[in-house]
Amino acid sequence: MNEQNIKNIVATVLAQLGENNIQPSTITKVIDAASNVAGKTVISDESLPDLGEPRFKKWNGVINAANPSIVDDLMSQTNARMGTGRTGPRPRTIPLLRFLADHSRSKDTVIKNVESSWLQERGLMEVQSAAKDKDEYLTRPDLGRKLNDEAIVLIKEKCKQAPQVQVILSDGLSLDAVTANHDEILPALLNGLKSAGLDVGTPFFLRFGRVKAQDEIGMLLNADVNILLIGERPGLGQSESLSCYAVYKPSEDTVESDRTVISNIHAGGTPPVEAAAVIVDLVKDMLKQKTSGINLKR
């Protein structure tokens, strides 16, 4: 958009607000510091830098630190918001913009839905909880804990009955957790379970699922071990974290302490392939001891 177009838009908006005596002003251009070459400013039509780049994530905003290397070392060991600095009582511009961007990303991954076409490409059957849409899922957690009537019929008709292990993938509270980790964790997990000589049921995707829904599924299929891979509640700047909930012979009386949980599965936490190997060992231990949760450690 050229300068004249910008001036015309501003003039129109101000006129609508009753400002008739409008004096033209100079348009201020935002220029990346990297565009200053040999002392001359080069104006570029490209977009502003991506604040998700490592140089901004690890940007040390602490001014006049007694020992800047200490802050740099601390920031190198964590993705937490360290060394953001401040201007008086206010945050500095780059950390503030990164905070807003990360917050938007976290909200997006909660609200968006996994596309059915994406599931079909990976051969995953799709069923749904009793929540009819994402809005109801977020406001009625109880509906995400049980299946709708169509899901019950599909699971009974399409899934293997009485397997040793049943694996379910669910969006939960993060679309990114499913799409970013599926290709690494699910094939590796299924192959690992089969290589261990275990009878594996038919994997499928549960839309709008909550953890408790795995109990109903386990009872429907009479599975010995039920594995639920579900998107975690996203944090600021981390929207791809997946959790594994494992339970032995779930029933109506199953409580949260009966579940064994492996969380923080993503590239920056427990790598998906490594998590798959850990889950296989966990399943073998559960089948051997015929229990899960806190009873597995007794």
Residues annotated within a binding site for adenosylcob(III)alamin: 211, 232
CA atoms of 29 and 36, how far apart (whole Å): 13
Question: Could you give the count of Cα atoms lying within 13 Å of 93 in the half-sphere of its Cβ?
Answer: 0
Count helices and strands in the chain by DSSP H and E runs: 11, 10
What residues are designated binding site?
Answer: 211, 232
Crossing angle of the two packed helices 175-195 and 272-289, in degrees rounded to 10: 50
- CB neighbour list of residue 74: distance below 8 Å, 6 or more residues apart: 82, 83
Q: State whether residue 183 is helix, strand or coil.
A: helix
Q: Is the distance from CB of 233 to CB of 103 less than 8 angstroms?
A: no
In Å, what is the CA distance from 7 to each residue of 2, 4, 94, 225, 296?
9, 5, 28, 66, 69
Residue 11 tokens, joined: 């003039």
CA atoms of 127 and 170, how far apart (whole Å): 10
Q: State whether residue 238 is helix, strand or coil.
A: strand
CA atoms of 77 and 65, how far apart (whole Å): 18
Q: Is the distance from CB of 128 to CB of 205 less than 8 angstroms?
A: no
Residue 171 tokens, joined: 């969006």
CA atoms of 212 and 217, how far apart (whole Å): 9
